[in-house]
């Protein structure tokens, strides 16, 4: 059986009503951005519209809908993604619901996360993909969590949740950070032995090793495409091999942003305001040189010595980031936001998949303050004119390049 690339619609739920002079007056869209800018009148119905856009992905035949967790920012209005996931269980019927991810060190007790995911899995008839992450640097500042113990705390939390889903209870969990006298959650997930587990990372070798050791899937949390994707895949494949496993495309996922219209010119015209609003405002303080960044600081985020050494080797102070692009040509070279006709977008994505050999594509359709009708149109054009060709071509590609893939998936379905 040939298996094509899996196509997921990701919604970041950005705040679309910033004043025109936001970039001039405010130094960040994260953490310190004043919440007095929230307009309760204009925002009435906003989250409902965003949920409806995700529900449209289910109708259009996407393989899943993706949510994530961020706090105190304009980039993503989802501090509690499990609430959005609960809404999606009631208005969708087929597509998977991927929460990428619950930031475990920010939750007081990981057993609560295990219980919520189990409820969502039951409410959706077994459609949940459970994502776990420690949280980037800005989340450390957001919740004032101690960065020094964050990774150790995170992996202990992951192991507690995994045990809560796979060991018969009640049992005691003797954890350093989460000692539990009784672990016995009801209900248990619908999927057995547990929902698929995805862990995002930014090419940290330590994260890749922990994912490989546990048999989970890895999501490359980066907006850098092109050769960087292939490097990440090669690195992860090597780590898997060190742990006695073999890479195949569905062990890894990537993020991209897409806008599709009838022609290249129309696509640029319709998406320009939303894309550059997103880049200029939502990336300020995160993926843009200008502004006050709280993504990193002394000891933040926590990482191993080897990973920090790798970071220094590949980091150039002052190097332009995605948020620094000024025009369409620079945006095209970045390969992170793909804009054009169905033919243009198809060829761009196929080229990325051919190079990266990744089987899970998590695609952002609504960008910044984009009009709802444009985001919906883009999704529909993609579903009708890009997705069928991608699925047909990648099914053949993966079958040829990974002949043992189906047996691996049968042994350990993801």
Average pLDDT, the chain: 92
For residue 121, what are its two tokens?
């899995």
Q: Provide the pLDDT for residue 409.
A: 80
Q: Identify the weakest region by mean pLDDT among 15-24, 124-133, 214-223, 299-308.
A: 299-308
Q: Provide the pLDDT for residue 412.
A: 67
Backbone angles phi, psi at 124, to 5 degrees: -100, 5
Q: Provide the pLDDT for residue 308.
A: 60
Exposed/middle/buried for residue 201 (C-beta within 10 Å: 0-12, 13-18, 19+): buried
3-class DSSP assignment, residue 76? coil
Report, at the CATH architecture level, how domain 6-411 is classified: Alpha-Beta Barrel (3.20)
Helix, strand, coil fractions of the chain, as percent rounded to 5: 45, 15, 40
Residue 226 has pLDDT above 90, yes or no: no
> 254 near 265, Cβ under 8 Å?
no
Residue 82 has pLDDT above 90, yes or no: yes
Q: pLDDT tens for residues 302-356?
A: 666 666 666 666 666 667 778 788 889 988 887 789 999 999 999 999 999 999 9
Residue 270 has pLDDT above 90, yes or no: yes
Q: Provide the pLDDT for residue 113.
A: 98
Q: Provide the pLDDT for residue 371.
A: 98
pTM to 2 decimals?
A: 0.94
Residue 169 has pLDDT above 90, yes or no: yes
Q: Provide the pLDDT for residue 368.
A: 98
Tokens 């219209």 sit at which residue?
A: 261
Residue 293 has pLDDT above 80, yes or no: no
Residue 77 has pLDDT above 90, yes or no: yes
Q: Provide the pLDDT for residue 359.
A: 97
Tokens 């248990």 sit at which residue?
A: 188
């Amino acid at each position: 059986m040939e298996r094509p690339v899996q196509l997921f619609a990701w919604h970041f739920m950005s705040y679309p009503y910033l004043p025109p002079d936001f970039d001039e007056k405010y130094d960040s869209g994260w953490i310190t951005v004043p919440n007095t800018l929230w307009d309760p009148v204009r925002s009435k119905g906003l989250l409902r519209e965003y949920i409806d856009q995700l529900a449209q992905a289910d109708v259009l035949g996407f393989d899943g809908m993706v949510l994530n967790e961020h706090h105190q920012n304009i980039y993503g209005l989802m501090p509690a993604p499990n609430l959005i996931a609960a809404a999606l269980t009631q208005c969708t019927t087929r597509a998977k619901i991927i929460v990428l991810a619950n930031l475990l060190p920010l939750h007081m007790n990981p057993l609560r996360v295990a219980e919520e995911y189990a409820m969502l899995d039951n409410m959706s008839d077994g459609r949940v993909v459970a994502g776990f992450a420690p949280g980037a640097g800005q989340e450390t500042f957001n919740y004032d969590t101690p960065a020094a113990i964050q990774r150790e705390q995170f992996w202990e939390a992951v192991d507690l949740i995994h045990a809560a889903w796979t060991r018969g209870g009640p049992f005691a969990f003797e954890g350093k950070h989460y000692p539990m006298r009784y672990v016995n959650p009801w209900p248990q997930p619908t999927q057995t032995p547990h929902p698929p587990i995805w862990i995002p990372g930014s090419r940290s070798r330590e994260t890749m090793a922990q994912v490989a050791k546990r048999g989970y899937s890895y999501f490359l949390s980066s907006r850098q495409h092109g050769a960087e994707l292939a490097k990440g895949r090669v690195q992860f494949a090597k780590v898997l091999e060190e742990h006695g496993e073999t890479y195949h495309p569905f062990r890894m996922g990537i993020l991209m942003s897409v806008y599709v219209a009838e022609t290249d010119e129309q696509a640029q015209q319709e998406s320009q305001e939303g894309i550059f609003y997103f880049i200029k405002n939502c990336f300020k303080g995160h993926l843009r040189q200008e502004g006050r960044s709280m993504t990193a600081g002394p000891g933040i985020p926590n990482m191993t010595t080897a990973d920090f050494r790798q970071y220094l080797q590949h980091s150039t102070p002052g190097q332009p980031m995605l948020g620094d692009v000024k025009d369409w040509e620079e945006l095209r070279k970045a390969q992170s936001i793909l804009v054009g006709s169905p033919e243009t977008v198809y060829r761009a994505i196929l080229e990325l998949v051919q190079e990266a050999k990744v089987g899970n594509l998590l695609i952002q359709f609504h960008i910044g303050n984009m009009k709802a009708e444009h985001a919906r149109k883009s999704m529909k054009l993609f579903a009708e004119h890009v997705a069928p060709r991608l699925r047909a071509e990648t099914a053949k590609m993966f079958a040829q390049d990974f002949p043992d893939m189906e047996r691996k998936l049968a042994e350990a379905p993801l």
